[in-house]
Amino acid sequence: MARARKYRLLQWGLTGFVLLIGIISIRTLSFTSRQIQVDIPDLPEPIAGAAERLAAAIRYPTISLLPIDTQAFLAFDTFLAGHFPLTDSLLRRTTIAGLSTILEWPGKQSTLSPVLLMAHKDVVPPDSASLEHWTHPPFAGKLDDTTIWGRGAIDDKGSLMAILESVELLLEEGYQPNRTVFFAFGHDEETGGSAGAAAMARWFADKNIRFEYVLDEGMLLVEDGGGGLEQPLAVIGIAEKGMLTLNLEVNTEGGHSSRPPAMTAVGILASAINKLQENPFPARLDGATRLMLDYIGPESPLPNKVALANLWLSKGIIIHQLENNPGTNAMIRTTIAPTIFRAGVKSNVLPARAQASINFRILPGDTPESVGERVEQVIDDPRIQISVEGAEDHTPPSPVSSTETLGFRVLEKTIREIFPDAVVAPGLVIAGTDSKHYQELAKGTYRFMPLRLKNEELTQFHGNDERISREDYTAMIRFYRQLVLNSCK
Ligand SMILES: [Zn+2]
């Protein structure tokens, strides 16, 4: 009897195991590639002197920190008009807020909705403490046999200049687009875009202009993309995280440090911050990030493919892997970054007040309000006052744009034409871009820069030795030219 029961149990176990293997296999086999096949088009050389022009553009120190050096921006505008004569004479220019620029390239068919390509003129200042780590001074605009060096080479004068080079090239070819193409070049992206991008978005809204799609910076093509991929990974940002900064404050009686209470204001605040960091927001594998895994999975080596095809089973392991890297951790949860701590005046005086700023990057699905509520719950300490910092730092996450739009399809196609070895996937931008100001105006908002970098080179954004190779810059120009052509087919 006992033996029969044991046998039956074994039989059940075996059947379950075979069933499990069956489900895993079927899901893996039906996890087919989402990469589109394209023919490689003819790709002309950029107009002679393109690299020299980018180097020259870098020499204008268009830093957007207040007070803004308007002379640098105005001189940069004059430089652009002088070096792209066809663009300057054939496109309609509107100046917004004194320093931002909208260009309109009228299309042949007024019934087609326009597209908008964005870039920003401003750059972040180089960190004065690390100037010695620059191979060439940040605003020297140095050009050698292979590389264009300087602040803005990739963020974002590279894109801005490549867009203009592509337009000038198309105009030289006698091309006129079917649909109107707009260009919006902001002057204060690095400080939130409230004067530039926000005002340009209002200009379009007032004219009732709605876009087929909007393209801004945000993601790029990473050579060692991760997920075990051997091919480079090009991610098109279909959503971006929101932002909220909360200020925490503790007020206590001061006094002499020779007879301290059990906890000083510094201690109370530190323990609150500690509670927050020990209680991270829950991880979620949904939205843009989930979609990214659905695109990467079929292109991955077999073990990763099996895992990604069977998230119902492997979700825990995948989340654990993503948590191990700050970049991918930020794709699956609202993050907590204590950035400022202010307290105390003298080492032998008890601090009467301690203040801290905590910067949160909000995952789509959470809201600034839900983040605030959770922070209060976790800290749960009446001695801590919590307040929201200025409206500038208070942005809800963006909606998630569809991958079924003309905009996404055109981007996907253009990336594969210019970078045929790349795997293309949608994904989440963990930082903020100017495109947040345009969300209401477009069927789809996408964030992608046609630039190929290695993972370790990503530190150049806002970091030292920002640069772009001549070869990569040529690919950028070709990308934007091809994008305009594909958008008008
Ligand atoms: Zn930028």
Q: Where are the domains of the chain?
A: 50-237+400-487, 241-393
Interval between CA 381 and ligand 1 midpoint (Å): 39
CA of 160 to the centre of ligand 1 (A): 10
Decide: 237 and 219 in contact? Cβ < 8 Å: yes
Residue 479 Cα, ligand 1 centroid: separation in angstroms? Answer: 18
Ligand 1 mean position, distance from CA 217 (Å): 6
pTM over 0.95: no
Beta bridge partners of 222: 233, 453
At 341 the pLDDT is: 96
CB atoms within 10 A of CB 272: 23
Query: In sequence order, what E strands does 205-260 have?
Result: 213-216, 221-222, 233-240, 242-251, 255-256
> What is the predicted pLDDT for the residue at 392?
61
Alpha-carbon distances, residue 180 vs 104, 140, 183, 486 (angstroms): 7, 36, 10, 13
User: 50-237+400-487 is classed in which CATH architecture?
Assistant: 3-Layer(aba) Sandwich (3.40)
**How far apart are the CA of 159 and the centre of ligand 1, in A?**
9
AA identity, residue 458: L
| Residue 208 DSSP code | T
Cα–Cα distance for residue pair 204/387, rounded to 1 Å: 34
What is the distance of C-alpha 378 from the center of its chain?
29
How many A from CA of 463 to the centre of ligand 1? 12
Phi, psi of 23, rounded to the nearest 5 degrees? -60, -45
Other Cβ atoms less than 10 A from the Cβ of 294: the count is 17
| pLDDT given at position 1 | 57
Output the pLDDT for position 390: 81
Cα 9 to Cα 3, 16, 17, 176, distances in angstroms: 10, 10, 12, 73
Check residue 6 and give its pLDDT: 85
Q: Are 478 and 247 in contact (CB under 8 A)?
A: no
Question: Helix, strand or coil for residue 372?
Answer: helix
Instruction: Write down the pLDDT at residue 393.
Output: 57
**Coil, strand or helix at 4:** helix
How many whole angstroms from 268 Cα to the centroid of ligand 1? 38
- Contacts with 150 (C-beta within 8 Å, 6 or more apart), sequence order: 55, 58, 59, 136, 137, 138, 139, 140, 141, 142, 466, 467
Q: Which residues of the chain have pLDDT under 70?
A: 1, 226-227, 391-393
Active site residues: 122, 189
**How remote is the CA of residue 151 from the centroid of ligand 1, in Å?**
11
Helix (H, G, I), strand (E, B) or coil at 6: helix
What contacts 120, CB < 8 A, 6 or more positions away?
156, 160, 185, 186, 187, 188, 189, 190, 193, 196, 197, 217, 434
Say yes or no: do domains 50-237+400-487 and 241-393 share a fold.
no
What 3-state DSSP class applies to 410? helix
Q: Which is it for strands 452-453 and 221-222: parallel, antiparallel or unpaired?
A: parallel
Cα separation, 445 vs 436, in Å, equals 9
SS3 457: helix
Separation between Cα atoms, residue 332 and residue 51, nearest integer Å:
38
3-class SS of residue 283: coil
CATH of 241-393, one of 3.50.50.60, 3.80.10.10, 2.160.10.10, 3.30.70.360: 3.30.70.360
Alpha carbon of 449 to ligand 1 centroid (Å): 10
Span from the CA of 155 to the centroid of ligand 1 (angstroms): 5
